[in-house]
Structure 1
Amino acid sequence: MDLSTMRTLVRRDLKDEDAATYRWPDTEIDRAIAKAVAELSRYVPDEKKSTIATTAGSSEISISTLTSRVSVDRVEFPVGDSPRSYQRFTLYIDTITLIGGVEGDGTNCYVYWGAMHTLGATSTIPAYLEDVLAQGAAAYALLSEAQYRTDTAGFGGEKADTDYQGWGAGMLKEFKSQLKRFGRGRNLKSSTLFQGDDYE
Structure 2
Amino acid sequence: MNLTEMRARVREDLQDTDSLNYRWTNDEVDGAIDRVVMEYSLQAPIQQQTDIATTDGDTELDISSLTGLIKIESVEFPIGESPKHLQHFDYWAGKLYMQGEGDGTDARVRWLKKHTLSADSTTIPAEHEEIIVLGATGYLAMSASANTVDRAFIAGRYGTISYKAWGIERLKRYDQQLRQIAQANRVVLRQLYTED
Residues 199 and 40 (structure 1 numbering): CA distance in 2 closer, same or farther, change over 3 Å? farther
8 Å Cα contact 1:154/1:160 also seen in 2:
no
- Distance of 2:70 and 2:129 partners within structure 1: 20
1:1-200 superposed matches below 5 A: 1-17=1-17, 22-99=22-99, 102-120=100-118, 121-150=120-149, 152-155=150-153, 156-184=155-183
- Tell me the CA shift for residue 56 of structure 1: 2.6
Shift of 1:108: 0.5
- SS of residue matched to 1:67: coil
Q: Give the letter aligned to residue 108 of structure 1.
A: D
Give a deviation string over 1:87-124, Cα, whole Å, max 9, x none.
Answer: 3322102222224xx33222111112222222122111
**Residue 180 of structure 1: how far off its partner (Å):** 2.8
Distance in structure 2 (CA, Å) of the matches to 1:25 and 1:182: 30
Mapped to 2, the partners of 1:199 and 1:7 lie a distance apart of 42
Which position in structure 2 is the counterpart of 1:191? none
1:140-181 C-alpha deviation (Å, 9 max, x unpaired): 11111112112x334341132232122212222322332232
What SS is found at the alignment partner of 1:125?
coil
The answer as to whether partners of 1:62 and 1:94 remain within 8 angstroms in 2 is no
Structure 2: runs of 5+ lacking an equivalent = 192-196
Deviations 1:75-97 (Å, cap 9, x if unpaired)?
Answer: 22221223433333221022222
TM-score (norm 1): 0.78
User: Contact 1:36–1:137 at 8 Å: present in 2 too?
Assistant: yes
- Of structures 1 and 2, the one scoring higher in RCO (CA 8 A, sep 6+) is 1
TM-score by length of structure 2 reads: 0.80
AA of the residue aligned to 2:112: G
Counterpart residue type for residue 71 of structure 1: K
Distance 2:186 2:55 in 1: 29
What amino acid maps onto 1:161 in structure 2?
T
Q: CA, structure 1 residues 199+15, in 2 after alignment: closer, same or farther (shift >3 Å)?
A: farther
Amino acid at match of 2:96: I
Q: Aligned to 1:159, what secondary structure does the other structure show?
A: helix
16-25 vs 66-75, greater mean Cα deviation: 16-25
Aligned length: 187
Query: Percent of counterpart pairs with the same letter?
Result: 37
Task: List runs of 5+ in structure 1 lacking aligned partners.
Answer: 188-197
Cα 1:17–1:137 shift into 2, 3 Å: same
- Cα distance between partner residues in 2 of 1:181 and 1:61: 35
Change in 2 beyond 3 A, CA 1:199/1:148: farther
| Distance of 2:140 and 2:70 partners within structure 1 | 24
Q: Distance in 2 between matches of 1:73 and 1:80?
A: 18
